[in-house]
Structure 1
Amino acid sequence: MREDDDRLRSLAGHFSPLGLIVVDHELRVRCWNTWIERVSEKFGPAARGELLTEVFGDEVTELLIRRVERSLSTGSSSLLSTAFHPHPLPLADTQFSDRRMVQRVSISGFDDDQGGRFAAIHVLDVSKEMARERRFRDQGQELRERSQELDAMRLELERQNQDLQFLATHCAMTRLPNRSLFEDRLRQLLGMARRSKNAMAVLFIDLDRFKHINDTVGHAAGDAVLIAVAERLEDLLRNSDTAARLGGDEFGVLLAEIADQPDAGKVADRIQSRLREPIPYQGQFLEVGCSIGISCFPMDGDDSEMLISRADSAM
């Protein structure tokens, strides 16, 4: 659970200066970002695992709780009206501590790559904007500027939701698909291959000397190696193929519409040759190699589990 929380907290870091709270299916806080910690004056790690209503008390509005539960149930998104629900959370105005912060709150459900369902509660402080709107309610120019600001906020929230969806299915470091998306694409390619009666291949790639580089040069060097390997794989493959980071120093490749097993072997040879080339890092060169296991449809199996197992055992 700590690893999952760290991963969710890394996602939360992408949303400053907006507030973000991530809760699980039990409405327990899994993480929040520094914005929430600052305005709530509550220490984030101390809240981990606590119910949302325990952390903020019974002043959390029932509507917010209902919308969060709906997002957890259906994966849907919603936006609370600032006009009718200005204070979903008991947060003080950052300028006037005796006033409640006027908040624009949106909730979106998302699944992580392990099948867990979470809800992201986005909080935007619009206290100043709402006060300005009251002062200049009758001025058309102010209304037009406000409309532009709201459009910008909406676009920013959409961008952040896209980031969440991307990070749930991709490796944040290499930007490659993760194991979950890799297996999903494998199932899709298998369906296409069966219909077209074409062959396809699964390649499992295990880096050599990666642990040695991590232990002797440092983890930053290891990260540089992973990024370089990802870039080289993408350079070698066609648009119809897929490269993925499966975890640690293990990568996977899906080759669509190959002629036969030797065709897949030629691609594997090119990958091994490219990955043997030294990787420049801070004035030195890091050398890694790789072991590659190959399985082909339909020769080595006709379902994703069998192809993955045979590619893994062939390394």
Structure 2
Amino acid sequence: MNFDQAIAAFEPAFPLAVAYSGGADSTALLMACAARWPGQVEAFHVHHGLQAAADDFEQHCASACKRLGVPLRVHRVDARHAAGESPEDAARRARYASFAALAAAGGTRPAIRSIALAQHADDQAETVLLALSRGAGLAGLAAMPEVAQRDGLQYHRPLLGVPAAEIRAWLKAREVAWIDDPSNADARFTRNRIRAELLPALDRAFPQFRSTFARSARHAAQAQGLLVELAQQDLAAIGTPPVIGALRQLSRARQANVLRHWLLQAHACTPNTAQLDELLDQVEACATRGHNLHIKIGTGFAERRGELLHWYNPSPPTEASR
């Protein structure tokens, strides 16, 4: 699929906001959407406060939006990561929180219903490779969905089938300038090393890797959807919080699946592999009333209280540390 075909196939609900960083991908997406749906598109810009050029990025976006006749909303955040936290994860959470805040701050304008994100085929391939490098399960290998619901908003990624090179060629043909964020070349970040070293090698060895990786991601997403359905059924049977005796009647694989689902949905907690394995071992050992269970899971602890398995965080994060 080429860039123009992707835009033609894009059918969001309106009003639409485009997440606009000033980079090549979001510039092309904003231009195309503004041209196709004049008067129905706004731009959302997140000022991360992470580098000295952030003010220049905002000014560039303001100038570009003025030329396009597109309203611009800006949200400033402190996206610095906490100790032991991934900088990329911290920035991503800050962006989504900013989008939700911007959508809610419409004033007299109609409420934003859809937000378009400019991730493309190269980004999707990087996400799959990053998930593989971390030993991720199906949820990670499913990478980025084309459409997703979050905070009452519908997020779209209409360019997931379009290679990065084609987007830049589209802009160059129109002599449009964009921002090159210097952090994208920082080799300290795994994603940047994948982009600079692995993708060119894959392009030489397997020129169709973008489409085949995307197909694998769709298969993983479908399989993950089935696991979620099974987890919902099992959780309904064992209760919330889970009854340990009922949990022990499931196979170990189903125990792992339902516990991941419960921890994520009820507590926004994702255990690592070692923590989940230890929890499963302890659940298996809970054959008597006197067996205690108290294990570090994510940012909190799982423990046995009578016949039930509970999770709690003794010191929940403050707003400043989120």
Larger radius of gyration: 1
Q: Same fold (TM over 0.5)?
A: no
- Normalized against structure 2, the TM-score is what? 0.28
Structure with bigger strand share is: 1
TM-score, normalization by structure 1: 0.28
Higher relative contact order (CA 8 A, sep 6+): 2
